[in-house]
Amino acid sequence: MFERPNEGKSACVISINFGDNDFEESIEEIKELVLSADMKIVSTVNIKRSAPDPKYFLGSGKAEEVKFMIQESKADTVIFNHNLSPSQERNLEKYFSTRIFDRTALILLIFAKRAKSHEGKLQVELAQLDHLSTRLIKGWSHLERQKGGIGVRGGPGEKQLELDRRMLKLRIKQLKEKLDKLKRQRTMQRKKRSRSGALNISIVGYTNAGKSTLFNQLTHANALAMNQLFATLDTTSRKLFIEDGVECVISDTVGFIKALPTTLIEAFKSTLEESREADLLLHVVNMANPNHHEQVKAVNKILEEIKAASIPQILVLNQIDRLDIKANHEKDEYGRISTIQLSAKTGEGIELLKEAILQLVVAKQSAETEIFE
């Protein structure tokens, strides 16, 4: 319906330090995002500014330097490690004569590539259209044409822009209705699981922390587990047997990232509700990442946004095999295991995790028994 230029294969990546403490980490992350979008980085620009330039974001002088660099490296795409306003994106595309992706657009592109299920594709399309709705401006030449004359499509004198807006709003409405129907179905499935008395467990964590590897290790499933950002988008649920008579339902969910676009959070609400409705969250952390403490904060922030911050958590410090340390655990003030160091890849420490889950199952069953008594 709305044609946008295809993503390029060679990219110039621009990162601007506005005094951020995690600037170096963000540079590495945007590189991983670009590679996850199947693009090749041919040039990078890392600069420092006190504030964004209203017109070109990076300033007119630096924009001129970057324009020359783009021509030299023959990059057909420019990627900003930041979110741009519609006018900034428009000005930069015109000035550089190339396709511009800001951080949100890049993540949306990756999600579009990764979505496999019907629901996942609907959620990604909704997020893309929400993002596109802010980019429908008169700067696009094909939106300048007038549709004049009585009986002509769009009515007398109606601009193509206005027609596009109406079509976009209609499609967004259709997508939301379809997702609401799927949400009701998902809610019914959760109610059935709840009536069975099984503990509902949701695996959450920063993207590429090893969630799917842990899911496979616990359930002996074959969910996709790749060393890529956002390798898993669609929620997968399996039964988990801890011991005889103790059954749980465990779900592997989409990974989080710093500054996850609000359009994605909104579109994926029904999927993220798997976490909000869980009895227990397994918060998987890549312990080998030197910035894993910041990643934990980013995940907890999103859990607050989706109203899942109050759900009991077990912090799973993964990838000890890369650090050459042994499996270990910590207990909370109630004597329950709250933090576990393990390797989802080798399986070391998995028994500790099962023991921690069993403690929660027993606690849940005790609480339900007290209510009925």
Model confidence pLDDT, tens digit, residues 166-179: 888 899 999 999 98
pLDDT at 148: 43
pLDDT at 252: 86
Distance CA 310, CA 159 (A): 49
Amino acid at 257: I
Point out which residues pair with 53 in neighbouring strands: 57
CA angle (84 as vertex; 83, 85 as ends), nearest 5: 130
DSSP state of 51: S
pLDDT at 196: 61
Count of CA atoms in the C-beta half-sphere (13 A) of 2 = 24
Q: Which structural domains are found in the chain, ordered by start?
A: 10-101 (3.40.50.11060), 196-372 (3.40.50.300)
pLDDT at 234: 66
pLDDT at 208: 85
Quote the strand ranges of the chain, DSSP E: 10-17, 40-48, 77-80, 99-101, 146-147, 158-159, 199-205, 236-243, 246-252, 280-286, 313-318, 328-331, 337-341
Question: What is the pTM (predicted TM-score) of this model?
Answer: 0.77
pLDDT at 141: 42
CA 359 to chain CA centroid, Å, is 31
Contacts 24+ apart (CB under 8 A), 138-142: 139/90, 139/94
pLDDT at 140: 40
Can you list the residues of the chain whose pLDDT is less than 70? 1-8, 136-159, 190-197, 222-234, 244-245, 269-271, 365-373
